[in-house]
Amino acid sequence: MAPDDAAVAALHALVLSTLDDDQAVEVVTIPLAGKTSIADHMVIASGRSTRQVASLAAKIAERAKTELGRKVRIEGLPAADWVLIDAQDVIVHIFRPEVRSFYNLEKMWAFDGPSGSTGPSRAPPKVVAEPILAGGRHDPIEAEPVDPVAEGVDPALLDDN
């Protein structure tokens, strides 16, 4: 494994372990290496509430910075219905369950085209994203928008746009 491959694998493992530790549900990972240049992995997970979605994002960002020296970008706070974490080699989407169902990124990013296909399939997808963690859907807890700084997110990690 090349040094860059090892760093990507470490980041991917950190994301998955953080989501597992903090009880994210329905976690899937979609391998993107060789299929697109945006990242090597896409991870999609659900949180049961906006507070949990924001907390998961903050924890991933903090661990990436402290353990791997990587600064990531977070978008989607304070609403926290859908938070995107751009860690360059690994893209993480954390949703509330009903928002995830609406956008259905797993279907959009299923690759089942001819060999060498470099984009999302237009045909009905094969399931290539396998669940990483066990977990069922939970009724979402409606909450007011989350103040990311009050929840412990480093203001430097937030997108100013």
161 within domain boundaries: no
What pLDDT shows up at residue 145? 56
Does residue 115 surpass a pLDDT of 70? no
Tell me, what CATH number does 81's domain have? 3.30.460.10
The whole-angstrom separation of Cα 104 and Cα 98 is 10
Place of tokens 């990013």: 109
Mean pLDDT of 14-30: 95
Cβ(78)–Cβ(144) under 8 Å?
Answer: no
In a domain, 141, yes or no: yes
The answer to whether residue 13 is domain-embedded is yes
Residue 159 lies in a domain: no
Q: In total, how many domains does the chain have?
A: 1
Instruction: Residue 47: give the domain boundaries.
Output: 3-152
What is the per-residue pLDDT across 23-70, written as a single tens digit (0 to 9) for each?
Answer: 999 999 999 888 888 899 999 999 999 999 999 999 999 999 999 999
Residue 127, in any domain of the structure: yes
Residue 4's pLDDT is 86
What's the CA gap between 30 and 127, in Å, rounded?
A: 10
Is residue 134 included in any domain, yes or no?
Answer: yes
Residue 132 pLDDT level (bands cut at 50, 70, 90): very low
Mean pLDDT of 153-160: 66
158, part of any domain? no
Is 160 a member of any domain? no
**What pLDDT, on the 0 to 100 scale, is given for residue 99?**
93
Strands (E), the chain: 25-31, 41-46, 73-75, 82-86, 90-95, 130-131
